[in-house]
Amino acid sequence: MAWIPGGRFWMGSEDFYPEERPVHEVQVDGFWMDTHQVTVAQFRRFVKDTGHVTVAETPPDPADYPGADPALLVPGSLVFTPPPGPVSLDDYHQWWSWVPGASWRRPEGPESNVGGRERHPVTHVAYADALAYAAWAGKDLATEAEWEFAARGGLDRAVYSWGDEYTPGGRQQANTWQGQFPWENLLEDGYAGTSPVGSYKPNGYGLFDAAGNVWEWTTDFHTADHSAGGKNVAPASACCIPSNPRIEVGATRDGESYPRRVIKGGSHLCAPNYCLRYRPAARQGETEETSTCHIGFRCVVRSPGSR
């Protein structure tokens, strides 16, 4: 873990997406943070020690998803498959599919496995899975403010976690998408999917993959913007983040909206032509029950008395 010293910083951005506004000053206390996203090998040790069964591996209770297509009421997760050519960016169903049997062990579906990917970030983990791992490890998940402060690496108000230039010296700084999303991946960074943690230089606080590779869960409920007063709302634009298809837009459970947490950092599927969210200020809302091939997490440990 790396020590994040805490302090005041300007959270958010006025220059990109509406949910990142308004920019406002925030104070965070010092804390420890994992230097990299939790890996497949680490998560495997947790499962072996506890017997934990992830949300993606658990048969869903139909009562939790009233009105859902019965075909979706099986264990599974969301998997990205690039279309063969250009498609409209208005419909993410053209590249996201619900795959029965997909899970952290089988990230592309029942016929796949994680052999050789032990140092890659674990994926297909829902919010509850991340919390369970953190509790087992004696840690926690970061708040949105803690995560953003740490990802900035001391570069307050910089666009990226490494500065203001996307590719300084022509070099890729994070595992993101190069080319026209979702069909043309130029692989300029060498990776078609996730990359081993630590494949790129760390930020100023010693954190690897503070942008790209996989999105990361935080504890905050998603708000429409930074002035929404903590109200749990759906994101105005889902961007490259699909929700659990069992949950229809606007659906409620027991009269309440399905809880959405803030995820941060962007992923290997973020591209300038579609989802320029590999920035510290970027934020998306995701339903707690959702798992995909590009969402993971890392943990924090707070000092006594910190918030």
> Does the model's pTM come out above 0.85?
yes
Alpha carbons 163 and 182: distance in angstroms, whole number:
26
Pinpoint the alpha helices (H) of 105-225.
127-136, 144-152
Using alpha carbons, select from 232, 245, 242, 243 the residue that is nearest to residue 67: 245
The tens place of each residue's pLDDT in the chain, 307 residues long, gives 999 999 999 999 999 999 999 999 999 999 999 999 999 999 999 999 999 999 999 999 988 888 888 888 999 999 999 999 999 998 899 999 999 999 999 999 999 999 999 999 999 999 999 999 999 999 999 999 999 999 999 999 999 999 999 999 999 999 999 999 999 999 999 999 999 999 999 999 999 999 999 999 999 999 988 876 777 887 765 566 788 888 766 566 666 778 899 999 999 999 988 999 999 999 999 999 999 999 999 999 997 654 4
Widest distance between CA atoms in the chain: 54
> Per-residue b/e over 47-83, b at no fewer than 16 CB within 10 Å?
beeeeeebbbbeebeeeebeebeeeeeebbbbbbebe
Q: What are phi and psi of 97, to 5 degrees?
A: -135, 140
Alpha carbons 83 and 94: distance in angstroms, whole number:
7
